[in-house]
Amino acid sequence: MNTDVIAFLGQMTPIRAEEARHLIAMGERISGFPVHLAGSGMLGFGRYAYRHASGHSGTAAVIAFAPRKSELVLYPNCALDDAAEVLAQLGPYRRGKGCVYLRRLEDADPAAVEALFRRGVAEISALWSVTPS
C-alpha cells in the first residue's frame, strides 16, 4: 500500500479505516491491481481510458469506493439495473445512478459486495483496455 493511501486511511475513524482496509483487500484480490487514490476521497483499483461516441473521453478506476464519514460509497462500474438479484442480497443500501451507498460494511453481505465488484471488473474489461494505476 503506498504512502498516499496510508495517509488517507489515517484521516478516518478507526471503524471506517477498518472497513476501508477490508474493501482494499477485496478490491485488490478481485481486480488484480493495487489500490490507488482515484480522486478526491476515493480509492480505486486499476484504470481504463474511455472515449464515448460523443467525443467525451477520460480515465477512471475499474472499481472504486469512497469511505465517507457517514457512509461507504461503492462504485462497482457495472450495470446496476442488471444486478437486481445481487442487490437484493446486499442488505440495507441506498442506490445512486452508478453507485451504492452503505451505512456500515458489517450490515452488507460480503458475497454480494464481491459479486458487484466482480461484475464491474468483467464489464469494464470487456469494453476497455484495463491497466494498473
Residue spans of the domains in the chain: they are 3-131
Residue whose C-alpha cell is 488484480: 32
Question: By percentage, how much of the chain surpasses pLDDT 70?
Answer: 100
At residue 10, does pLDDT exceed 90?
Answer: yes
Give the three cell numbers for residue 94.
441506498
110 burial type by CB count under 10 A (0-12 exposed, 13-18 middle, 19+ buried) = middle
At residue 129, does pLDDT exceed 90?
Answer: yes
Residue whose C-alpha cell is 471503524: 15
Chain segment 69-106, per-residue pLDDT in tens: 999 999 999 999 999 999 999 999 999 999 999 999 99
For strand 100-102 and strand 72-75, is the pairing parallel, antiparallel, or unpaired?
antiparallel
pTM of the model: 0.94
Question: By percentage, how much of the chain surpasses pLDDT 90?
Answer: 95
For strand 100-102 and strand 63-67, is the pairing parallel, antiparallel, or unpaired?
unpaired
The pLDDT assigned to 40 comes to 86
User: What is the number of other CB atoms lying within 10 angstroms of the CB of residue 69?
Assistant: 8
At residue 133, does pLDDT exceed 90?
Answer: no
At residue 47, does pLDDT exceed 90?
Answer: yes
Contact in structure between 87 and 112 (CB atoms under 8 Å): yes
At residue 112, does pLDDT exceed 90?
Answer: yes
DSSP state of 23: H
- The stretches of the chain forming alpha helices (DSSP H) are 3-10, 14-31, 84-90, 110-127
Residue 47: what residue type?
Answer: R
Higher pLDDT, 54 or 1: 54
